[in-house]
Amino acid sequence: MAVRTDQDSPWKEILRQYFPEAIAFFFPDLHRLIDWKKPPEFLDKEFQQLAPDTAIGKRYADLLVKVWRKRGKAMFLLLHVEVQAKPEANFAERMFVYALRIFDRFRQPAVSLAVLCDGNATWRPHRYEFSCPGTHLSFQFDTVKLLDYQAQWQGLEANRNPFATVVMAHLKAQETKRNANQRKEWKLSLIRRLYEAGYSRRDVLHLFKFIDWVMILPEGLKQAFWLELKAYEEERKVPYITSVEEIGFERGVQQGRQEGRQEERRSLVLLLLEQRVGQLPDDWRDRLSQLSLTQLEALAIALLHFSTLADLEAWLASR
């Protein structure tokens, strides 16, 4: 079965959209210490300067976030999601190096957190240590293992936190990687759950995007999936996902891939974009003309949730 090569992207997006919920789900004790009335500050540029190697390989998603304690003091959170399927030998060392660079930059320690997405139940790094004559260092950080949630499935189904859905999608993507038909059924089941649990349209679209990205289907099952989803939405009279734009985009991208014409793909994305946000100024068109094919496809998925030019500007700024 095909796999995504840029698995960090959906994780980064869902973490940014639901950051307080992510901390509440994975690290509830920490969540209670933070004043969430003050919006978190995502320090993407600062972290990229501190750890330029994070852009290489697309094996993990990192966020450096500034939050405030309830007593008013600022606090830095380094949240690392290890997306790759295989354990990394130098993981704990890399966590230490990042924490050290953050301290050197801000003169303040960061709360270091890790989410482990691999399928190895025994791999649980949480400490980096070294010793030499007269010196000993021990650095410990909090981790959660997504594999552990398999034994808590009923609790996940009953949990309204968006990250319960994220974890379920990830676990079922792992479980069904050799069974495409089973994956299609689980994908539909998880999406139906969003409606039945009463999620808002916004939440349905955001969570669908993550589910769709991690639970990729082979071409032979995509049409069947869309037809079943369309029938379900029509029955419930809530066409959040299977809009004309969604299906038109899917068909257009498939046609563009078959014909191999980059310009046709670009024109299709621009057409769909203008249907969402209105006519684009020439300087915006120039900016979009610089996007790679991978970025164009990412934009084509993201634009389904745009309503203003500001949404496009925010998306471009995050790249």
pLDDT surpassing 60 at residue 2: no
pLDDT surpassing 90 at residue 21: yes
Query: How far apart (Å, rounded) are the C-alpha atoms in residues 72 and 43?
Result: 19
Query: How far apart (Å, rounded) are the C-alpha atoms in residues 139 and 81?
Result: 18
Q: What is the mean pLDDT of residues 194-219?
A: 90
Q: Which two structure tokens, joined as six digits, stand for 15?
A: 């973490």
Residue 271 C-beta-side C-alpha neighbours within 13 Å:
11
Query: How far apart (Å, rounded) are the C-alpha atoms in residues 75 and 132?
Result: 31
Q: What angle do CA 115, 117, 123 make, to 5 degrees?
A: 85
pLDDT surpassing 80 at residue 191: yes
Element (H, E) at 112: strand 110-116
Query: How far apart (Å, rounded) are the C-alpha atoms in residues 267 and 246?
Result: 16
pLDDT surpassing 70 at residue 25: yes
H-state helical runs in the chain = 8-17, 19-26, 28-31, 44-50, 91-106, 153-158, 162-175, 180-196, 201-214, 219-236, 244-259, 262-277, 282-289, 293-302, 309-317
4-18, 70-84, 98-112: the lowest-pLDDT one: 4-18
Determine contact, residues 14/210, Cβ cutoff 8 Å: yes
59 confidence band (pLDDT: 50, 70, 90): low
Distances (CA, A) of 193 to 37, 52, 216: 29, 39, 18
Determine contact, residues 183/172, Cβ cutoff 8 Å: yes
Higher pLDDT, 115 or 51: 115
48-62, 185-199, 265-279: the lowest-pLDDT one: 48-62
278 confidence band (pLDDT: 50, 70, 90): confident
Determine contact, residues 199/228, Cβ cutoff 8 Å: no
136-140, 146-150, 304-308, 313-317: the lowest-pLDDT one: 304-308
State the average pLDDT for the chain. 83
- pTM exceeds 0.95 for this model: no
Q: What confidence score (pLDDT) does residue 7 get?
A: 52
Sequence spans of domains, the chain: 8-148, 178-242, 249-319
Q: What is the mean pLDDT of residues 79-88?
A: 75
Q: What confidence score (pLDDT) does residue 28 get?
A: 96
Q: What confidence score (pLDDT) does residue 224 get?
A: 86
pLDDT surpassing 50 at residue 118: yes
Q: What is the mean pLDDT of residues 86-96?
A: 85
Query: How far apart (Å, rounded) are the C-alpha atoms in residues 59 and 83?
Result: 6
Nearest to 11 by CA among 115, 93, 98, 96: 115
Higher pLDDT, 254 or 83: 83
Residue 92 C-beta-side C-alpha neighbours within 13 Å:
16
Q: Which range is most confident: 53-67, 107-121, 228-242, 277-291?
A: 107-121
Q: What is the mean pLDDT of residues 177-195?
A: 94
pLDDT tens for 159-172 read 999 999 999 999 99
